[in-house]
Amino acid sequence: MAPRVNPILEALSTRYKTLKKLTALDAKSPEVAEMIAHFTSAALDFLSSCQRIPLVSRVPEKTYFSFAKAGKKPKLSRAVNDNLFDADSAKRNLDNLLEGTLDRIQLPERTRLLYTIAISYCCAADLLKTGDQKTPATFFECLIGHFFARAFGVNHRTQVDVLQLEDENTTLPTDFIYDLGPAKPKFHVPVKTSTRERVIQVFAHQRVLDGVHGFGKFKGILVCLAETKLDHTSREVVEICVPRQWNLYYRFIAVMHRFYYFDVPKKYEALTTGDPPMAVVPFATFFDEVKDLAAGH
């Protein structure tokens, strides 16, 4: 098929600032859901006109491909998990995003839907933008910001008060913070498209919150898209994982309550039966357990 640049999507790739602003204003609002659905539809339309280039997967039991605009030297999108990407299902179920009824979809299909929403915009941005890694990260933050705010019924903050003996106000800049109210659970939610070796920051921020406010006051929940890395020359896909470091960080820096992934890395999945066990699960399960989380479990 001949390459076809979607002019709508090129506009969208600049409109992400509006999405960012709306999310900061009221992440749980229907306007944010609509904009995410709109972005996803446009991205899927654009991607349907792209080629799918098979990749050499170095990850056991996983198959990956890249989207590419046709041409002599096709530019590749990030790696897409073949088993999780499902454009038809995403288009069919996008209304559940708007209506906030994602929990009604069966877990396997919900996992594919969420992955497809998250990765489509990122891939479209990979192909249409040059050298701007901020756009996909911002979209991903808005997406997670919306899901959490809508599920918990409160918007996020991005700083925490730090108690002081002396009379000075100190605040700690953080990722998303959800405070469900007095004597109710509070959550510290770092959001990353990938963590790699930077994951130590996540544990360290949790450690500061534990130190400042006491253990268990803020529960740490990491939300991450994937840990894949694509070598654009050899077209090999690997997952960059440091499970032994995770074990050390968990034992010696801070305990994290959940690690949600849209594409759960094999080596981190194994940590669920490690010592101590760490809760590394597909993000789709969030919608099943959000009531338990809100109840402090």
Alpha-helical segments (H) within 129-229: 134-152, 199-213
| 253 forms part of the interface with a second copy (CB under 8 A) | yes
| 8 forms part of the interface with a second copy (CB under 8 A) | no
Cα separation of 105 and 277, whole Å? 28
Which of these segments, 37-45, 91-99, 248-256, 284-292, binds a second copy (CB under 8 A)? 248-256
We find the least distance from the C-beta atom of residue 247 to a second copy, in angstroms, to be 8
| 249 forms part of the interface with a second copy (CB under 8 A) | yes
Q: Of 37, 162, 279, 281, which lies in the binding site for a second copy, with binding defined by CB under 8 A?
A: 162
Strand blocks (E) in 69-196: 80-81, 157-162, 170-179, 186-189, 191-192
Please state the length of the chain: 297
Nearer to a second copy, 54 or 211 (CB): 211
We find the least distance from the C-beta atom of residue 167 to a second copy, in angstroms, to be 13
Q: Of 173, 182, 214, 276, which lies in the binding site for a second copy, with binding defined by CB under 8 A?
A: 173
| 292 forms part of the interface with a second copy (CB under 8 A) | no
Q: Which residues are registered as beta bridge partners of 159? A: 173
Cα separation of 123 and 121, whole Å? 6
| 208 forms part of the interface with a second copy (CB under 8 A) | yes
Q: Token pair of 114, please?
A: 């969420």
Cα separation of 203 and 250, whole Å? 7
Cα separation of 83 and 80, whole Å? 9
Which of these segments, 2-10, 195-203, 255-263, 285-293, binds a second copy (CB under 8 A)? 195-203
Nearer to a second copy, 75 or 207 (CB): 207
Helix (H, G, I), strand (E, B) or coil at 161: strand
Q: Of 73, 163, 252, 273, which lies in the binding site for a second copy, with binding defined by CB under 8 A?
A: 252
| 204 forms part of the interface with a second copy (CB under 8 A) | yes
Q: Token pair of 167, please?
A: 């009379």
| 172 forms part of the interface with a second copy (CB under 8 A) | yes
Phi/psi at 57 (nearest 5 deg)? -85, 125
Q: Of 14, 48, 158, 170, which lies in the binding site for a second copy, with binding defined by CB under 8 A?
A: 170
| 203 forms part of the interface with a second copy (CB under 8 A) | yes
At 238, which helix (H) or strand (E)? strand 236-239
HEC string of 13-69? HHHHHHHHHHHHHHCCCHHHHHHHHHHHHHHHHHHHCCEEEECEECCCCCCEEEEEC
We find the least distance from the C-beta atom of residue 249 to a second copy, in angstroms, to be 7
Nearer to a second copy, 61 or 167 (CB): 167
Cα separation of 171 and 138, whole Å? 23
We find the least distance from the C-beta atom of residue 204 to a second copy, in angstroms, to be 4
| 167 forms part of the interface with a second copy (CB under 8 A) | no
| 159 forms part of the interface with a second copy (CB under 8 A) | no
| 166 forms part of the interface with a second copy (CB under 8 A) | yes
Site map 118..157 versus a second copy, x via CB under 8 A: ----------------------------------------
Cα separation of 22 and 20, whole Å? 6
Residues that bind a second copy (CB under 8 A): 162, 166, 170, 172-173, 198, 200-201, 203-205, 207-208, 210-212, 244-245, 247-249, 251-253, 275
